[in-house]
Amino acid sequence: MTRQLQALFAVAILALLVVGGWTVWAAPQRPSDQQLRNAAADDANWLMYGRTYDEQRFSPLQQINEDTVGGLGLVWSRELPTTRGVEATPVVVDGVIYTTGPWSIVYAFDAKTGDRVWTYDPESDRTRARLICCDVVNRGVAFYEDRVYVGTTDGRLIAIDAATGVPVWETLTIDLDKPLAITGAPRIANGLVVIGNAGAEYGVRGYVSAYDAETGGLVWRTHTVPGNPAEGLANDAMQRAAETWNGEWWLAGGGGTVWDAIVFDPELNLVYVGTGNADPWYRDLRGRGGDNLYASSILALHADTGEYAWHFQLVPGDHWDYDATQPLMLADLEIDGRPRRVIMQASKNAFFYVLDAATGEFLSGTPYAQMTWATGIDPETGRPIEAPAAYEGMEPVIVTPDPGGAHNWYPMAFHPTTGLVYLPVKDGMFFIHPPDPEWQPGKRAFNAGIEPGYDGPLLEQLLLQPPPQGKLVAWNPVAGRADWTVDFPVAESGGVLATAGGLVFQGRADGIFAAYRATDGTVLWDFDAGTGIMAPPVSYLVDGVQHITLMVGWGGAPGLINPPGMGPVKPGYGRVLTFALDGNASMEPRPFGHTEPPVPALPLEASAATIRDGRELYEGLCFGCHGFATIAGSLPDLRYSSADVHAQFEQIVLGGLREQRGMPRFDDLIDAEQVRAIQQYVLSRANATSGTP
């Protein structure tokens, strides 16, 4: 059945049920521009990604509070058919939860019962998985009037009828010849659907686009870095940016992708976006010298046209993959005795920034975690003061934070009573940056310019570093300091919710979902979800009762790469969990993974040189999905590959035998001999783990 026939069939059935007096589904309200502007007063729903346009993730509900939270229990749980990363923020409208899972699949659940209302699978092209650096995740939908909007991993923006789950329109937002993808949630701004994309590690030029919510027509598109000057520069902003680049940067795209942070201020009529790293990562590979505007920046754009308003660059001439794509939050604060409308970000680079939302004026930038790449920040300009040892040209350097950042995409929350921002922090994760002297655009699937197989003297220094420390930090943005912190047994923790009940809710990579007292961080309640948590919870009313819903599922970059020192993380099947006071539902997570060492399926028949070559190829092509060195993450562990898998190894890697399951082919980059080297490296890891000589 075609999608058009499916749509007609669904509408016909709905009409018959209504005419016949059987109301199985009431169409949701139509959150208009005015309703979205007034979302702060709507305590029954969670209408937008961050609940309100300011993205503060604060719920005014207080049935669940410091005194009652001990009675919080599970109301219902629904398993998702995936063991990949689950990162979405649910949107809740009139008792219906709209959310997403991996591969951009959209779900609608009855918030009271957990019954599935509909599922929409956009059938994203699985062959493009190798063009997505950090798992085939999706962070959620936007709801506007009677439609749900989702961006797909293969670059489409789709409008879906909220009542039926039937697509209304779809438009391609990318050039399919470019390694672009969408993992972030769309945002609504004055009837426009604003969406960015990812791909800066693969060689692209970043941009953000706005589409008419009714028709899907492109209204404006703004690039974040300049293209080839010989082809013309679109405006004065791009002309100024081009003056900060050197060499032929456009050959590698330039980077600066808007892969997550998008915020709209309806009063100022500005859209704010955070831009990603310059491409490739390392200065000397893209043309040494210059700030490389507007990569690693916060950009303010006029909402109706996309025209440049102002920018603030967090990391001029970035050399360490310090994107500025972490969540952006608007707030009204009193600073130096005067009220200021500000925009805030806890950046990857370990500085917490407060800027004037109207002008971009730098107000403050204070370290919230350990850093060795910078020694401080200029108090007048906000420009970082680079540490001398953090950049040595084409020589490897070791720094913290790592490319994952002291804070990444995980949403933070603001409590207007305490005045604190609650944010997940990964403190003290060190990383070796070895620029690849043989790098060239398109040389590898992961095209960031990092040299694979590095085994130089900095490895010993890396091994001497203590493991990273995961934390929940209550940050005072006016004073520029932490009021309190909670240390975790894992490095990674998920997004945050603050409530008027005096609580802060957050999940962790070990599957623990907890409620903390907002004033001092005391743990008041916890729940073992059985699977690692990355996504943030939301809160809303059903029949006048406060509920909390959370997506769980370990994956993303940390779940796939699975670096050492992360603590007792829990891969497993994704789920949707919903809680309320006096909830008494039970949950038995399906087991996932291995409890015994692998038994190598084939004997190891390769020289040390071949295994070394295999390791380099693996780290250049495979680690982003199958794990770095340990080869163990959220996907099936290759060390446990069966004899049948090894018999088909070449067909899988070169022939696309498992493309529809998300395993892309690599016959454009490597040959059969190189595939054998990768296979032998995998077998060597199985042998090392099992103790086989």
**Reduced 3-state DSSP string for 648-675:** CHHHHHHHCCCHHHCCCCCCCCCCHHHH
| DSSP 3-state of 86 | coil
Q: Which residue(s) pair with 171 in the sheet?
A: 157
Segment 112-121, tens digit of pLDDT: 999 999 999 9
Can you give the length of the chain in residues?
693
Evaluate the CA torsion angle 231, 236, 237, 239 in order and state its sign. positive
Could you tell me the pLDDT band of residue 601, with boundaries at 50, 70 and 90?
confident
DSSP string computed for 41-110: G--S-B-STTSSTT---EE---SS-TTTGGGEEEEEEEE-S--S---PPPEEETTEEEEE-GGG-EEEEE
Answer yes or no: is pLDDT of 27 > 70. Answer: no
Q: Is 321 a catalytic residue?
A: yes
18-22, 503-507, 602-606, 616-620: range with lowest mean pLDDT: 18-22
- Mode of pairing for the β-strands spanning 431-433 and 147-151: unpaired
State whether the Cα torsion 418-483-358-408 is positive or negative.
negative
Task: Taking residues 686-693, report their average pLDDT.
Answer: 76
Output DSSP code: residue 467: P
* Res. 403 pLDDT band, cuts 50 70 90: very high
> What distance in Å separates the CA atoms of residue 101 and residue 81, rounded to the nearest whole number?
9
Structure confidence at residue 30 (pLDDT): 64
Q: What is the dihedral of CA 506, 512, 517, 523, to 10 degrees?
A: -160
Torsion (CA) 567, 571, 574, 577 in degrees, nearest 10 = -40
pLDDT band at 13 (very low <50, low <70, confident <90, very high): very low
Residue 85: half-sphere exposure toward Cβ, Cα within 13 Å: 28
Over residues 222-246, the mean pLDDT reads 95
Cross-strand pairs, 413? 422
Under the banding of pLDDT at 50, 70 and 90, the label for residue 8 is very low
Task: Give the separation between CA 574 and CA 90, rounded to whole angstroms.
Answer: 14
Average predicted confidence (pLDDT) for the chain: 92
Give percent above pLDDT 90 in the chain: 76
Helix H or strand E segment including 301: strand 297-302
pLDDT in tens, 436-483: 999 988 877 788 999 987 889 999 999 999 999 999 999 999 999 999
Contacts for 1 with CB less than 8 Å, ≥ 6 apart: 9
Helix, strand or coil, per DSSP, at residue 394: coil
Question: Domains in the chain, ordered, with CATH?
Answer: 608-690 (1.10.760.10)
Q: Half-sphere exposure (CA, 13 Å, Cβ side) for 329? A: 32
Task: Retrieve residue 246's tokens.
Answer: 């050197």
Residue-wise pLDDT for 119-135, tens only, equals 999 999 998 988 888 89
Helix, strand, coil percent values for the chain (each to nearest 5): 20, 30, 50
* Catalytic residue chosen out of the listed positions 321, 402, 436, 637: 321
Query: Is the N-terminal amide bond of 294 cis, ω within 30° of 0?
Result: yes
- Lowest average pLDDT, out of 55-69, 376-390, 549-563, goes to 549-563
Angle at 86 between CA 82 and CA 91, to 5 degrees: 120
Query: Residue for token digits 């046209």?
Result: 305
Q: Sort strands 575-581 and 72-79 into parallel, antiparallel or unpaired.
A: antiparallel
Residue 346 has pLDDT above 90, yes or no: yes
Give, in order, the Cα–Cα distances in Å from 197 to each of 133, 211, 589, 605.
Answer: 12, 14, 33, 43
Query: What are the strands of the beta sheet with 469-476, ordered from one edge?
Result: 413-415, 420-427, 469-476, 481-487
Question: Cα(608)–Cα(91) distance, rounded to whole angstroms?
Answer: 53
Tokens found for residue 56:
């503060």
* Torsion, Cα of 78, 80, 85, 86 (10° steps): -40
